[in-house]
């Protein structure tokens, strides 16, 4: 049995996955004498499909010792309060519309869950507010283009839950400088060409094209889609789920604002459904990131480009769009021997819910909370790690598929194919069958660390008009005076946000100005 201590971690690959991995490991384990080395090639492009994050990024940046104002200034970051889904429910030619998947939870007060009050009124009254607007004032904040907090709010605090939109390239440069300059990560530029294994199969070293060897005790594979260590060298299979998630390509563009100084900035990600996929629109400080995620089985590249032209109002010869092929799925295991895959080397799903960076955070945080001190500890730790992240990948796939399979659009084969029962994961199928008889509740979500729980499913389900019935046993509870009081509180809060919060542009301007006075 190998009883060697784990004293050195080698991260193979840079990007967001590599530098977040290196930084979090170095920060957490520095006091134990851990050495962290990151090896990255100098010529690999940034994928940058998703520039959106989860609210967990606030805690990650704080843990790394990063000032929020400086981060926002240096990474052209803005605030994200959720996702606005346009035209997902119906064909827009017949019934255009939108709903929000917000970061704020639907309102509750003591025993009262406003979701049930809304369900009772939705089925009985005309002119009821959409679900997201009725249960959370944050929907009004997004509609009005406001920021999630006041200009004088302390870093990482807010009235509303928020995450960030960021420039991927600038974020990587920012993390690199922070990890090397303040966390002691050793940085090497090298293109890895081969891997040396010990007799028991573990990785002893990775070897560069120019013959340099980088030895370590634990290796983090952040080599992207190639999965150089886990996939190629250790032979862990990729499980393709393209039969469930039908989109397999994206066109991405960057568009400067016509008025970069005073024009509005979206404080949410905009997702607009199209005939063969959907368009994303992410607002940064001086530009927007726009792209079309689509199924190449349902649209040609020229047709996809036409969608981007129509959405942006810019001719294709000026868009300079970049095509990104997407192989959707995940590895059969994520920790094999002494190698852990993080980021694209572990798996990839389309960026509909901006899960990529959050899965990086989750992977590394679980690793550092139960970090092996000796090689012999890796086997039981890896078994648990693999079980947890297999479930999390399956959960993400089910949630993304949920958006598609409950759509009422019938205007193209893409939407009809997404509704075919054989394309719906078995676990999601079982949940949806239960929800035909019972409203979704906490009991349907067994893992408290599940990325998308009750609130997320409710925003999507009720925004899309799925299963709006309410059992008779809940009607008296839903119609109680306390429920009406809670409903009125949300309406009052929504009506007052315009007087309480600045525009998103004003908030970003004040944060950048404050960061400049710090000299950070």
> Which one is catalytic: 8, 27, 28, 80?
80
Q: What is the CA radius of gyration of the chain?
A: 24
Structure tokens, 415: 């939407």
Instruction: Count the alpha carbons within 13 Å of 443 in the hemisphere toward its beta carbon.
Output: 4
Cα–chain center distance at 511:
24
What pTM was computed for the model?
Answer: 0.95
- Give the per-residue pLDDT at 19: 98
- Give the per-residue pLDDT at 197: 98
Phi-psi map region of 198: left, alpha, beta (phi>0 left; psi -120 to 50 alpha): beta
- Give the per-residue pLDDT at 124: 53
Cα–chain center distance at 449:
15
Neighbours of 111 (CB within 10 A): 9
Tell how strand 35-40 and strand 8-12 pair up. parallel
Integer angstrom CA distances of residue 186 from 173, 214, 496: 15, 12, 50
Domain spans of the chain, in order of start: 8-78+164-239+329-395, 82-163+434-500, 249-325
d(C-alpha 400, C-alpha 501), whole Å: 32
CATH number, span 8-78+164-239+329-395: 3.50.50.60
SS3 of residue 264 by DSSP: coil
Cβ(251)–Cβ(322) below 8 Å: yes
- Give the per-residue pLDDT at 467: 85
Q: Is 328 exposed, middle or buried (0-12, 13-18, 19+ CB in 10 A)?
A: buried
Number of helices followed by number of strands (H, E) in the chain: 17, 23
Question: Catalytic annotation on 80?
Answer: yes
Question: What is the third-level CATH fold of 249-325?
Answer: TATA-Binding Protein (3.30.310)
Q: What does the DSSP assignment read for 170-233?
A: HHHHHHHHHHHHHS--EEEE--EEEEEE-TTS-EEEEEETTS-EEE-SEEEE--GGG-IIIIII
d(C-alpha 2, C-alpha 142), whole Å: 55
The pLDDT profile of the chain, 520 residues, written as one tens digit per residue, is: 567 899 999 999 999 999 999 999 999 998 899 999 999 998 666 655 548 999 999 999 999 999 999 999 999 999 999 999 999 999 999 999 999 999 999 999 888 899 998 988 765 554 578 999 999 999 999 999 999 999 999 999 988 999 999 999 999 999 999 999 999 999 999 999 999 999 999 999 999 999 999 999 999 999 999 999 999 999 999 999 999 999 999 999 999 998 888 889 999 999 999 999 999 999 999 999 999 999 999 999 999 999 999 999 999 888 989 999 999 999 999 999 999 999 999 999 999 999 999 999 999 999 999 999 999 999 999 999 999 999 999 999 999 999 999 999 999 999 999 999 999 999 999 999 999 888 899 888 877 778 999 999 999 999 999 988 788 888 888 888 889 899 899 999 999 999 999 999 999 999 999 998 755 4
Residue 397's H or E segment, with its range, is helix 378-405
Question: At a CB cut-off of 8 Å and minimum separation 6, what does 19 contact?
Answer: 38, 172, 175, 176, 179
Helices 168-182 and 15-29: crossing angle in degrees, nearest 10, is 30
């Amino acid at each position: 049995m190998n009883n060697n201590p784990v004293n050195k971690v080698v991260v193979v690959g840079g990007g967001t996955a590599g530098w977040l991995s290196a930084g979090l490991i170095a920060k957490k384990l520095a006091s134990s004498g851990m050495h962290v080395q990151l090896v990255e090639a100098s010529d690999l492009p940034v994928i940058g499909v998703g520039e959106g994050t989860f609210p967990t990024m606030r805690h990650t940046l704080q843990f790394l010792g990063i000032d929020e104002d400086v981060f926002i200034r240096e990474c052209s970051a803005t605030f994200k309060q959720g996702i606005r889904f346009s035209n997902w429910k119906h064909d827009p030619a017949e019934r255009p519309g939108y709903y929000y998947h917000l970061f704020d939870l639907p309102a509750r007060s003591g025993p009262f869950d406003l979701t049930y009050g809304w369900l009772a009124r939705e089925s009985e009254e005309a002119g009821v507010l959409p679900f997201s607007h009725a249960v959370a004032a944050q929907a009004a904040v997004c509609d009005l283009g406001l920021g999630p907090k006041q200009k004088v709010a302390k870093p990482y605090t807010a009235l509303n839950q928020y995450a960030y939109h960021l420039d991927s390239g600038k974020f990587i440069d920012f993390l690199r400088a922070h990890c090397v300059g303040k966390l002691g990560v050793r940085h090497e530029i090298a293109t890895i060409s081969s891997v040396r294994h010990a007799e028991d199969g573990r990785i002893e070293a990775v070897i560069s094209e120019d013959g340099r060897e980088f030895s370590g005790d634990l290796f983090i594979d952040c080599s992207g889609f190639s999965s150089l260590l886990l996939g190629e060298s250790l032979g862990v299979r990729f499980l393709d789920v393209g039969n469930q998630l039908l989109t397999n390509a994206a066109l991405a563009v960057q568009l400067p604002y016509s008025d970069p100084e005073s024009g509005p900035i979206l404080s949410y990600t905009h997702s607009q459904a199209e005939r063969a996929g959907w368009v994303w629109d992410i607002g940064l400080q001086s530009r927007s990131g726009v792209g079309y995620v689509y199924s190449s089985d349902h649209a040609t590249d020229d047709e996809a480009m036409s969608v981007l032209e129509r959405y942006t109002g810019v001719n294709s010869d000026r868009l300079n769009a970049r095509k990104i092929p997407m192989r959707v799925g995940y590895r059969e295991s994520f920790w094999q021997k002494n190698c852990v895959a993080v980021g694209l080397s572990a798996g990839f799903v389309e960026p509909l819910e901006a899960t990529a960076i959050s899965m990086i955070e989750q992977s590394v945080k679980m690793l550092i909370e139960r970090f092996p001190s000796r090689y012999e500890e890796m086997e039981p730790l890896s078994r648990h790690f693999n079980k947890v992240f297999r479930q999390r990948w399956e959960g993400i796939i089910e949630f993304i598929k949920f958006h598609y399979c409950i759509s009422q659009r019938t205007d193209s084969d893409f939407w009809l194919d997404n509704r075919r029962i054989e394309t719906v994961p078995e676990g999601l199928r079982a949940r949806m069958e239960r929800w035909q008889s019972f409203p979704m509740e906490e009991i349907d979500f067994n893992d408290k660390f599940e990325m998308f729980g009750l609130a997320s499913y409710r925003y999507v389900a009720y925004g899309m008009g799925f299963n709006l019935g309410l059992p008779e046993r809940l009607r008296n509870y839903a119609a109680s005076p306390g429920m009406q009081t809670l409903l009125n509180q949300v309406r009052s809060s929504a009506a007052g946000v315009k007087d309480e919060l600045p525009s998103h542009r004003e908030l970003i301007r004040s944060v950048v100005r404050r960061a400049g006075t710090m000299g950070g």
